[in-house]
Amino acid sequence: MDGLTFDIPPSRAAGMSPRRAEPYTRLAVIGMGSWGTALAAVAASAGCEARLWGRRETLAAAIAETRQNPDHLPGIDLPAGLYPTSDLAEALDGAEAVLIVTPSHTLRDMTRAMKPHLPDGVPIALCCKGIERGTGFLLSHVVEEELPGHPVGALSGPTFARETALGHPTAATVAFPFRHHDRIVPERAPAARLALTMQTQAFRPYVSDDLVGVEVGGAVKNVIAIACGMMTGAGFAENTRAALITRGMDEMKHLAEALGGKRETVTGLAGAGDLTLTCSSTTSRNMSLGTQLGQGIAREACFDGKPTVVEGETNAISVVDLARRVGVEMPICEAVHAILHEGAPLTETFQALWSRPIEGEPRALDIILHPHEGDPA
């Protein structure tokens, strides 16, 4: 792979040559589901050795033999350079960077299992999305607690695994906090090196220093997607979904800002992009769950009764809990939480959401108008 050239501002360019970032040559991808497999395929296509780990020895063996993931990405050939394994030590041996693509609720246990095998100082990028239930921690905080001394970031964006693995043009954000040294020598920053590692003709990464904003976008969009699905399943159409997406993005912005993130991050790939994709297709399990519930299907009968992890179900609890702690109003997320976890009726809950007092759309316009409830006496 060619190095990535960083332009130097004219004021600093005199007597200096363009600087080149070097990609990582060996990547560990922890999680053998559809997204983990797709990311490992992207890295391998870019020329990186990608070791793909999963718990099931039989699945790892099937991928090695057929060069396909029969359980999660059937029919898609996987590139050379992708090496499946069920041995965690083997996956992490010599890894220069790690992508964690396991469900968010398993993250703490997963990082503890990784610790004895992880080389010192290796950057870790989270490719799962959520907020830890109970603690209210962003997932990066969980990793920082369990694996101190490792740079922690995230890879996020509007990305369906199957389309990514098929080589459809796809863009995503790679976010790591930028330390002083990273700003002086940006080509050595983990975000820059991982972005270059993942770049192919079809997969285009962007670099961000706003990890908080990217993480909040990834967690909240799952909950808003369930809301969109519920209203779609209940028979409503484009107006309703557009309103939920737009106001859901507003909820995202306020939570991100309250936690130290940047509002503009929420308008980027990891916010608006991911939100729009997830809220527009039942390829998203969050949207699909909401649609089935909106059609009146009982939760235990959704997905034909098959146990299916839907991140937004857990996120609805953790996002709402965190928002309440920091004093951020998130009425759409509250509505989804009430329906999923408090037994609230779907129709009445959304009617109440639409009947809330009228507010100014820019928060700077401090106005609240209560609905007229009848003729004056």
What is the CA angle 35-41-46, rounded to 5?
130
Q: What is the pTM of this model?
A: 0.90
Task: Write out the binding residues for NAD(+).
Answer: 31-36, 161, 285
User: What pLDDT was estimated at residue 339?
Assistant: 98
Element (H, E) at 50: strand 49-53
Residues 6+ away with beta carbon under 8 Å from 104: 128, 129, 130, 131, 132, 139, 311, 314, 315
Q: Which residues pair with 126 in a beta bridge?
A: 100, 154
Cβ density class 187-205: b for 16+ within 10 Å, e for less: bebbbbbbbbbbbbeebeb
Catalytic residue flag (residue 221): yes
Catalytic residue among 115, 221, 262, 306: 221
Task: Write out the binding residues.
Answer: 31-36, 55-56, 129, 157, 159, 161, 221, 274, 284-286, 309, 311
User: What pLDDT was estimated at residue 362?
Assistant: 75
Element (H, E) at 292: helix 285-294
User: What pLDDT was estimated at residue 372?
Assistant: 64
User: What pLDDT was estimated at residue 1?
Assistant: 45
| Averaged pLDDT, groups of 10, the chain, 377 residues long | 48 51 94 97 97 97 97 97 98 97 95 96 96 94 97 97 97 93 82 96 96 96 97 96 96 96 94 95 94 96 93 94 96 98 96 92 79 52
Domains of the chain in sequence order: 4-209 (3.40.50.720), 213-355 (1.10.1040.10)
Task: Write out the binding residues for NADPH.
Answer: 34-35, 55-56, 129, 161, 285, 309, 311
The answer to whether the CB of 37 falls within 8 A of the CB of 51 is no
